[in-house]
Amino acid sequence: MEAIKLKIVCAWCNKDMGTKDGQGVSGISHGICPECYSKMDMPKRQCLRCGHEWEPRTPKPIQCPKCHSPYWQTARKEIISETS
């Protein structure tokens, strides 16, 4: 019996990047190949919490690498639930 594989294709150049275990799901998953990644010029990001600037490794960083805040895109005053 053959395991169901998910095909991985570069979303930028459509290069075949192989397969991975689809865990019961077959189809195509998009990723980014090393060539496109190195060509890609990611804009610098700045954390609105600590002011740290960095070059992200992903288009949408989930947290600031310095203060580790997941709300780095949101200024502190806009977070209503966060009161001290």
4 or 70: whose CB is closer to Zn ion?
Answer: 70
Q: Which two tokens stand for residue 34?
A: 């090393």
Closest to Zn ion by CB, 4 or 51:
51
Q: Does 52 bind Zn ion (CB under 5 A)?
A: yes
Looking at 36, 45, 61, 71, which residue binds Zn ion (CB under 5 A)? 36
Decide: 64 and 46 in contact? Cβ < 8 Å: no
Establish if 50 lies at the interface with Zn ion (CB under 5 A). yes
Rounded-to-integer distance, Cα 12 and Cα 62, Å: 22
* Least distance (Å) between residue 26 CB and Zn ion: 22
Give the alpha-carbon dihedral of 6, 10, 13, 16, to 10 degrees.
-40
